[in-house]
Amino acid sequence: MEVLKNRILKDGVVLGDNILKVDSFINHQMDIKLLNQIGKEFKERFKNIEITKILTIEASGIGIACIAAQYFDVPVVFAKKHEGINMDKDNYESEAFSFTKKKNYKIKVSKKYLSAEDKVLIIDDFLANGNASLALIDILNQAKSEIAGVGIVIEKGFQPGRKLVEDKGVKVESLAILESISNGKIIFK
Ligand code: 5GP
């Protein structure tokens, strides 16, 4: 997706050898015009697949998923990392290792919102080692929902996430794939 790649080159900031900061337009301040283009592109990539729900993970996936959902005309469910007193007790649960926080965290989705009738598209901002996507796939398997695919805004192609997700038999569509971000230089595949 050219407009996204150009924006990453213009405003993305490389931290060390493997973190790309896009918080001026995607996951802190959000460029809604760009997110709409991203939502339309996800719809185009999954246009031939029936989808009844979008599943993402808090926090940074939520905004992207909500805007994409308008093009699919389906609800968004997001996996919660933090339990509040108002959270249902009957949940699907999984565990993931956070790439950015370097620790394990639990994710939960109420059993009310995913079922065997659902055909679910997973959406997230980044795909790195695949931990977030694999935990969401685990939750969908527990719910016996059909997995329509994984839609990713930025895939770090030099990390193993895509292979691990595809090994589960799940299609991955990424809108920008990074080949490397070494020495502060962003190179796309
Ligand atoms: P994974 O679970 O695939 O290892 O990593 C995906 C999650 O980690 C995403 O939800 C994203 O929030 C975060 N993440 C991974 N790599 C990056 C990165 O380079 N930059 C940012 N901003 N987040 C990342």
Secondary structure string (H, E, C) spanning the chain = CHHHHHHHHHHCEEECCCEEECCCCCCCCCCHHHHHHHHHHHHHHCCCCCCCEEEEECCHHHHHHHHHHHHHCCCEEEEECCCCCCCCCCEEEEEEECCCCCCEEEEEEEHHHCCCCCEEEEEEEEECCCHHHHHHHHHHHHCCCEEEEEEEEEEECCCCHHHHHHCCCCCEEEEEEEEECHHHCCEEC
From first to last of its 189 residues, what are the pLDDT tens digits of the chain?
999 999 999 999 999 889 999 999 999 999 999 999 999 999 999 999 999 999 999 999 999 999 999 999 999 999 999 877 777 789 999 999 988 888 999 999 999 999 999 999 999 999 999 999 999 999 999 999 999 999 999 999 999 999 999 999 999 999 999 999 999 999 999
Ligand 1: centre distance to CA 60 (Å): 10
How many distinct structural domains can be found in the chain? 1
Query: In the structure encoding, which two tokens stand for residue 10, read together?
Result: 């213009």
- Please give the number of the atom of ligand 1 that sits closest to the Cα of 19: 19
- 20 is annotated as contributing to ligand binding: yes
Residue 91 is part of which domain span?
2-188
- Where residue 76 sits, what CATH number does that domain have? 3.40.50.2020
Q: Which residue lies with its CA nearest to atom 19 of ligand 1?
A: 19
* Cβ 124 under 6 angstroms from ligand 1: yes
Helix pair 60-72, 32-45: axis angle to 10 deg: 60
Q: Which residue lies with its CA nearest to atom 12 of ligand 1?
A: 126
Ligand 1: centre distance to CA 154 (Å): 9
* Cβ 127 under 6 angstroms from ligand 1: yes
- 79 is annotated as contributing to ligand binding: no
* Cβ 153 under 6 angstroms from ligand 1: no
pTM above 0.75, yes or no: yes
- 68 is annotated as contributing to ligand binding: no
